[in-house]
Amino acid sequence: MEHALRAIRLGELDVTTAIDENRLNAFGLSVLFLCALVIAVDGFDVQVISYVAPVLTSSLHISRSMLGPVFSSGLVGTTIGALVFGPLADRAGRKTMLCLSILLFAAGTLATMGASGIGTLVLWRAVSGLGLGGATPIAVAFAAEFSPRRIRSTAVMLVYCGFAVGAGGGGMIAARMLPALGWRAVFLLGGLTPLVLLAALLVWLPRSIEDLGRRGDGAAIAAILKRLIPGVAADPMAVVRMGERAAGFPVGRLFAEGRAVRTAFLWAMFFTNILALYFMVSWLPTLAHASGLSVADAVRAGSTLQLGSLIGTILLSLLARRLEAMAVIGLGFLGGAASLALFSVVGGSVGSFTLVAFLAGFFVIGTQTGANAVGALIYPASLRATGIGWALGIGRAGSILGPSIGGMLLAMQWPTGDLFIAAAVPALLASVCAFVLSRRLGGASEVVGAAA
C-alpha cells in the first residue's frame, strides 16, 4: 500500500504528506478503535452461527448435515457485499456506506431470531453477510487513511485483531447465554450490539478525507486535520486539489514479467488454507458436541480458536520479520494441518480438545493473517493492492466451499475423526504452496526486493 489517500492539497498544505509524517494521536487512535469494533462485529458474526448450531439442530428439528448451506450463505453474502458496497462507498461516501452496512447487518441478525427452518436461516444469514461484506473493507480503508505511513501496516493488522476478540469473546458470552436463554437470545445480542456501534460511528467517526477532497470541502478537511495533527496550518478557506486516481493494473499483469507461477501458487495457498479455516470455524462446535462435549464446552472450545489466532498472529509476524517470511508461513500452515489432524484423536476430553483448538487457531488462523501481509510483498508496490486483493478474492471461494463440503461429508455419514483428517488435507496443500513460493522467491531478499 503506497498511500492510503490520493494526493490531496489544501492550498499550500500537502494533506497526504502531513498525515504520513506525523504521529498517531488520541483522535487517530479513536478512529482505529472504532474500526476495530466493526471488525469485532464481523468476527462475532462469522462464528455466531457455529456457536448456536448444536442447539439449532434440535430446536428446528434438522440434521447437522443441513447446516452447510446456512454456514455458506453468510459467506456468499459477505462476498457480494464487498463487491457491491465498495464501489458505492466511492460515490456515496465511506462513512455513509459503512453506517448503512452496519444497519443492514443488524437488521439481518435480528430477523434471524424469527427463523423457523433452513430456508429462512439461509435468507437472513445472507442478508447479514451482505452488511458485513460492505462494512469490513470500508473499516479497513478508514484505518489505513487515518494512520501515518510508517505504521500503517501495523495499524491495519492490529485493527484486524478485533476479529479474534469478537469471535472469541462472543463465544464465551454465547456459552453462558445458550443454556439459560436459548439461541435466539444470542442473535438478539448480535443484532443490538451493532446498533449501539452504529450510534457511536454516527457521533465519533469522522468523514473520509478522500470523500471530502472529492467534494472540495476544505473547511471539513481543515477541521479533521486540526484534530489529527494539532498545530497544523490548515486554512479552511483554501482551495482543495486532488491528484488523479492511480491507474489500475489489470489482473493480467499479475501473470506478466515472470509473475505467473508465484501468482498461481499464492492463489492456491489462499484458497486451500481458507477452505480449511472456514471448515474448522463453522463446524468445530458441532463436531466437538458430536465427540461428546457438552454444548457449553463445545462453544468454549470453539472460542479458544480465536485466542490462539490472536497470539499466533503476533508471534508469527515477529518470526516473519526475523526469518525467511514465506518459509515461516509454510511452517505455520504445516502446524495447522497437524493440529487439525490431532482433533481426530482427542475424543471427548474437554481439556485436550480445547488445547488442540488453541493450536489450530494459532496455526490455521494466525498464519493466514500473516499470509495476508507477506503475500502482498511478492509483488511490486504498484501491484500490491491488486495482487493481495485477488488472492483474498480467490480465498473467499474457499470460505464458501469449506462449510458446504463439511455438510456433504456429514450427509455421507463420515465419522467425526475422519472429518478432521479431511480438513487437514487442504491446510497441508497450503503449506506445500508456501514452501514452493519460498523456493521460487529465493529467500527474504527477493521478497523485500519485490516490495520496493
Q: Which among 395, 247, 269 has a CA at the least distance from the CA of 336?
A: 269
DSSP letter assigned to residue 8: E
Least confident of 228-232, 264-268, 416-420: 416-420
Domains of the chain from N-terminus onward: 8-238 (1.20.1250.20), 253-452 (1.20.1250.20)
pLDDT digits (tens, 9 = 90+) for 414-451: 887 888 899 999 999 999 999 999 888 765 434 433 33
Nine cell digits for residue 406: 463439511
Q: Which among 247, 267, 243 has a CA at the least distance from the CA of 255?
A: 267
Residue 452 has pLDDT above 60, yes or no: no
Residue 380 has pLDDT above 50, yes or no: yes
Burial readout 305-321 (b: 16 or more C-beta within 10 A, e: otherwise) = bbbbbbebbbebbebbe
Task: Give pLDDT, residue 306.
Answer: 78
In angstroms, the first-to-last Cα distance of the chain is 11
pLDDT confidence tier of residue 67, bands split at 50, 70 and 90 = confident
Measured distance CA(221)–CA(225) in Å, rounded: 6
| Average pLDDT of span 185-193 | 91
Q: Which amino acid is at 67?
A: L
